[in-house]
Amino acid sequence: MKEKIRTLEGGSILKGELPEGCKICRRGAELFFFVTGKCSESCFYCSLAGAKRGKSLILANERPVKNFANVMIEATNMNALGAAVTGGDPLLCIDTTIEYIRKMKEAFGKKFHIHLYTSGRYATEENLSKLFQAGLDEI
């Protein structure tokens, strides 16, 4: 049976099932976790603001992160069911990205859904393996 293409209420077009990360985001239950402003791409659709571009900073829902306790507080306050790991390109800071993914899974459990946005340029087999071993659910 052919899957139908459908238009969602916001205008997005979808074929098949909506990814889990998107479902959580649409419910307002996803922590926005910004790992870095560094990126080697210039994608026309990117929302990376000029003030963040190229900067080495970590944010949880736009609030500065000095340590994992800041992430815990933000995720707990919003009753997060998951996190969107984004940036710039989180793979440019692979060790930090892996560290926070691992800590989020340890703190919030296996059901806490984590997905990652990347340009794909640095999505090597080694990096992908490390990310999924740390607990990443979706790219």
Q: In the predicted model, is pLDDT for residue 131 greater than 80?
A: yes
Task: Give residue-wise pLDDT tens across range 2-19.
Answer: 778 988 888 888 888 888
Q: Residues 97-129: pLDDT tens digits?
A: 999 999 999 999 999 999 999 999 999 999 999
17-30 pLDDT, tens digit per residue, is 888 998 999 899 99
Domain hosting residue 44, numbered range: 19-134
Q: Which residues contact 113 (CB under 8 A, 6 or more apart)?
A: 20, 21, 24, 81, 82, 83, 137, 138
Q: Which two tokens stand for residue 86?
A: 């984004």
- DSSP type of residue 88: S
**How many domains in the chain?**
1
**C-beta of residue 12 within 8 angstroms of C-beta of residue 71:** no
Mean pLDDT of the chain: 92
Query: Does any domain span residue 31?
Result: yes
Is the entire prediction scored with pTM above 0.95?
no
Surface-to-core class of residue 111, CB atoms within 10 Å of its CB (0-12 exposed, 13-18 middle, 19+ buried): exposed
105 lies in some domain = yes
pLDDT band for position 1 (cuts 50, 70, 90) = low
At 71 the three-state DSSP class reads helix
Residue 66 falls within a domain, yes or no? yes
* Position 64 in a domain: yes
